[in-house]
Chains A and B, each alone.
Chain A
Amino acid sequence: MKKKLTAILTASAMVAALCACGGSQPAATTAAPAETPAATEAPATEAPAAETEAAAETEAAETEAAAEESSEGKVFNIYAWNEEFKGFFEKYYKVPDGVTVNWIITPSDNGAYQQKLDEALLNQENAADDDKVDMFLAEADYILKYAGSDATQDITKIGVTDFSNTYNYTVQAASDANGVVKGVSFQCCPSALIYRRSIAEDVLGTSEPDEVQAKLDSWEKFNAVAADAKAKGYYMTPSFAETYRVFSNNCTTPWVDADNNLQFDPQIEAWMDQTDEFIKNGYTLTAGIWDDEKNAQMFADGKTMCFFGPAWYFNFCMGNAQDPEKGCSGDWAITEGPAAHFWGGTWLMAPAGTDNPTMLADIMNTFINDEEVCSALVENEAQFSNNQAVNAKFAADESYGNEFLGGQNDVAVFSAMTDNIVWENHTIYDQLLNEGLQNQMQEYYKGSVDKETALKNFYNYVNETYPAIVTPQ
């Protein structure tokens, strides 16, 4: 019985994470962001130094030299929740002599990572130099909690000034409400419409990406095609929440207004309308995005035409489609779809009060501006790097193609669509509000509650999770 009592502490959150693939997907009940008042206004932020034209290599060389000479701290502490970046760091970054790099890795299960990081950041001032956080990693889902706070610092002041090659949204995401940049991403995760070529052939009469894109480049067309697909016995999407991210990435208002009132963006309303329609007409399934029921649709005998996801999703999370016997590798292709969006990504953040600012800046510059390192990331690590010049080089390479996508050059597709991705109107409540809304609406779509009750349950959830948000009465 005693175990039962303490098991309480160990449990929670995992299921979504478990059924899913690694670092970039949301965990069900992970403790997550709340916000600072400033961030609620969260207007679109321009990368302030985006036009700076400093030459990347010289900059990196300079800072590296500086790091060697400096009398900065001898211990560099990096907080992370997994080993992904650690691997790249150890391979591609030369640590200055005499500096020891310390990895503090706390798993993200049950919110442990953010809990650990928060305590460390809030204690940063009192910590001894060698115990200070010198860099930490953050995901898109909760990055604003840190970027929007005083716990992070302006990286342009420590020597990271050249954002000419990075994708704009990755800079916006790591900026606070005033456009001060607090970190950089070493990868870029544009998300595409992934469709079954054979089903597209049947429904649309073509499987060529350009022609398919022409028939699916707006929601009106997408919704109309859903009816055609249904008529031929197919599902348009495999999950009621499959298109959620495509809508929510393009919101024109944040989740809360200036007075912290909860508000539904027209994009979110549009998602609800679309999903109401899709469920009513049987265009989609009531499964969640990580459920077995959805994954079963990836098999060759699956009946679903459209999935949405970035490179990591189709390369690593569509195992059923890649199954040698029951799968259908090669019968897939990607295109931008009705709206540009992204999914996932890891940012390197600069904490205030680090005693190694030069080395921190040097690391950041290496992973966004060092052409050799960025090329290696694409070539050896299957990353879509955060360096446009490097990605363009691979996009132009005609010999490059992804077998799973029937030989399509996915880097080229992603390169073309990244310009349209925006990071606007975000709040630090986003992750759990998006997750909570999907969870409650799923009950409605499954028929266990009516829509009004689902929304009321959502408001209750918001009240419990974020005391600062005011919900409609």
Chain B
Amino acid sequence: MSKEEKVLKKKSPRNAKWGYIFIIPFFAAYICCTLIPQLMTFYNSLFMNYRDGLTQVGPKFVGLQNFVKLFSPDNSGTIGILKYFGNTIILWLMGAIPQIVVAMLLAVFFTSYRLNIKGQQFFKTVIYMPNLIMASAFSMLFFTLFSPVGPVNQLLLGAGWVDKAVDFLNIKISVRVLISLMNFLMWFGNTTILLMAGIQGIDQSLFDAAMVDGASSTQTFFRVTLPLLRPILIYTVITAMIGGIQMFDVPQILTKGIGMPNRTSMTVVMYLNNYLTTSKNYGMAGAVSVVLFIISAALSLVVYSSLSRQYKKPARHRKY
């Protein structure tokens, strides 16, 4: 915000009170419903604490032992959590890059007066529809499609492109592509809508002015749309990143929770989930959460600060 704004605000002390009043409901609800259980989990990372059947083991203080265990190589010399972070990042990039690029393109198409796309309502509805299917149902459909006796294989065999059914769910590349494709399909419509709402929020007179000044559509996009859209774009990138780092449901269901083949599609949260579901191993799960939290918080703050620094300059244009 600009200097004048700050001066204005400092002049009215009642503002501070209202600031607190406005944010109190959020924090009250967050602390009660989410923060307390979360902190318990973090705290638990220092304890041995799990359920063995119906018997509770611990909590017994073990210091950083859970973290040591987390970063020790397993019997084949791999440090599990690093491998799963790697998988997660690859899967995320494979899905998120096309997702944001395509969504950006579509948002521009839809909001362009020049292109004046017919049947917009139809297209907008359709692209969001995959998001409405529950992830579990969506995976069921993917399973049927890509099973060794499924229609994709029937097509490939029928066309003579392969001599033998392809086992899509047991080949590293194809599993990763399928996961990314599902994530893309489920989320690109969502991102498009976010960006579109952002573009719609931009004062139309700015586009009109650019047009009068004879700017081409490319120029309009880079000089008007993009700078003004930057806050929403930052949001999109950061949430795509969070969504990516917390990626779980699609690979979990598609690979029956085992991240096949050879755990190359196992994500960090799937790993976390392994500790949590059966044995309620809050010790190890807490340790994974702490690592996950540190890494993703650091990443987000880096992305946020670098993107919003760039944004500061054109922001001055906002003062119409």
A–B touch (CB < 8 A): the answer is: yes
Q: Which residues of A are at the interface with B, using a C-beta cutoff of 8 A? A: 1-5, 7-8, 10-16, 18-19, 28-29, 31-37, 39, 110-111, 118, 121-122, 145-146, 148-151, 286-287, 291-293, 296, 428, 432, 436, 439-440, 443, 446-449, 453, 456-457, 459-461, 463-468, 471-473
- Do B279 and A34 touch (CB < 8 A)? yes
Q: Measured between C-beta atoms, what is the minimum distance from A319 to chain B in Å?
A: 15
The docked-state distance in angstroms from the alpha carbon of A145 to that of B250 is: 30
On whether A8 and B249 interact (CB within 8 A), knowing A467-B50, A468-B57, the answer reads yes
Tell whether B192 is near chain A: CB-to-CB under 8 Å: no
Tell whether B294 is near chain A: CB-to-CB under 8 Å: no
Chain A minimum-CB-distance residue to B248:
A8
Q: What are 20 A-B contacts with C-beta separation under 8 Å?
A: A8-B246, A11-B250, A14-B140, A34-B278, A36-B53, A36-B54, A145-B53, A149-B55, A439-B258, A439-B260, A443-B170, A443-B262, A448-B260, A456-B74, A459-B74, A460-B74, A463-B74, A467-B52, A468-B50, A471-B75
Tell whether B195 is near chain A: CB-to-CB under 8 Å: no
The 3 closest A-B pairs by CB, nearest first: A11-B249, A448-B261, A1-B239
- Do B53 and A29 touch (CB < 8 A)? no
Q: Measured between C-beta atoms, what is the minimum distance from A259 to chain B in Å?
A: 14
Chain A minimum-CB-distance residue to B256:
A28
CB neighbours (8 Å) of B140 from chain A are 14-15, 18-19
- Do B249 and A32 touch (CB < 8 A)? no
CB neighbours (8 Å) of A19 from chain B are 140, 143
CB neighbours (8 Å) of A12 from chain B are 136, 249, 252-253, 257, 273, 277
Tell whether B111 is near chain A: CB-to-CB under 8 Å: no
- Do B242 and A1 touch (CB < 8 A)? yes
**B170-183 interface mask toward A, CB cutoff 8 Å, 1 = contact, 0 = none?**
11100000000000
Contact for B52 among A3, A34, A151, CB less than 8 A:
A34
Q: Measured between C-beta atoms, what is the minimum distance from B141 to chain A in Å?
A: 11
Q: Measured between C-beta atoms, what is the minimum distance from B295 to chain A in Å?
A: 16
CB-contacts of B236-265 with A (<8 A): 239-240, 242-243, 246-250, 252-254, 256-258, 260-263
- For the A-B complex with A34-B54, A34-B55, A293-B149 known, give 12 more contacts whose Cβ atoms are closer than 8 Å: A1-B239, A12-B249, A29-B277, A34-B50, A36-B53, A292-B150, A293-B147, A439-B260, A447-B170, A448-B172, A460-B263, A464-B274
CB neighbours (8 Å) of A466 from chain B are 52, 278-279
Report how many residues on chain B are interfacial, defined by Cβ distance under 8 Å.
60
Contact for A13 among B54, B131, B172, B257, CB less than 8 A:
B257
- Do B147 and A291 touch (CB < 8 A)? yes
On whether A34 and B53 interact (CB within 8 A), knowing A465-B278, A466-B279, the answer reads yes
On whether A14 and B253 interact (CB within 8 A), knowing A33-B53, A440-B258, the answer reads yes
- Do A36 and B52 touch (CB < 8 A)? yes
Main secondary structure, interface of A, reads helix
Tell whether B167 is near chain A: CB-to-CB under 8 Å: yes
The docked-state distance in angstroms from the alpha carbon of A407 to that of B233 is: 69
Q: Measured between C-beta atoms, what is the minimum distance from A148 to chain B in Å?
A: 7
- Do A118 and B239 touch (CB < 8 A)? no
Contact for B284 among A36, A459, A467, CB less than 8 A:
A467
The docked-state distance in angstroms from the alpha carbon of A72 to that of B263 is: 54
The docked-state distance in angstroms from the alpha carbon of A457 to that of B258 is: 9
CB neighbours (8 Å) of B134 from chain A are 7, 10
Chain A minimum-CB-distance residue to B281:
A467
Tell whether B51 is near chain A: CB-to-CB under 8 Å: yes
The docked-state distance in angstroms from the alpha carbon of A121 to that of B55 is: 11
CB neighbours (8 Å) of B149 from chain A are 292-293, 296
CB neighbours (8 Å) of B284 from chain A are 464, 467
- Do B257 and A29 touch (CB < 8 A)? yes
On whether A456 and B278 interact (CB within 8 A), knowing A4-B243, A4-B246, A34-B53, the answer reads no
Q: Measured between C-beta atoms, what is the minimum distance from A140 to chain B in Å?
A: 16
Chain B minimum-CB-distance residue to A1:
B239
Tell whether B219 is near chain A: CB-to-CB under 8 Å: no
On whether A145 and B239 interact (CB within 8 A), knowing A7-B249, A15-B140, A292-B150, the answer reads no
- Do B54 and A8 touch (CB < 8 A)? no
CB neighbours (8 Å) of A286 from chain B are 167
The docked-state distance in angstroms from the alpha carbon of A223 to that of B256 is: 30
Tell whether B76 is near chain A: CB-to-CB under 8 Å: yes
- Do A145 and B269 touch (CB < 8 A)? no
Q: Measured between C-beta atoms, what is the minimum distance from B158 to chain A in Å?
A: 16
CB neighbours (8 Å) of A459 from chain B are 74-75
CB neighbours (8 Å) of B277 from chain A are 12, 29, 31, 110-111
* Interface-central residue, A29, A118, A149, A293, by most chain B CB under 10 Å: A29
**B26-52 interface mask toward A, CB cutoff 8 Å, 1 = contact, 0 = none?**
000000000000000000000000111
CB neighbours (8 Å) of B275 from chain A are 464
- Do A1 and B240 touch (CB < 8 A)? yes
Tell whether B144 is near chain A: CB-to-CB under 8 Å: yes
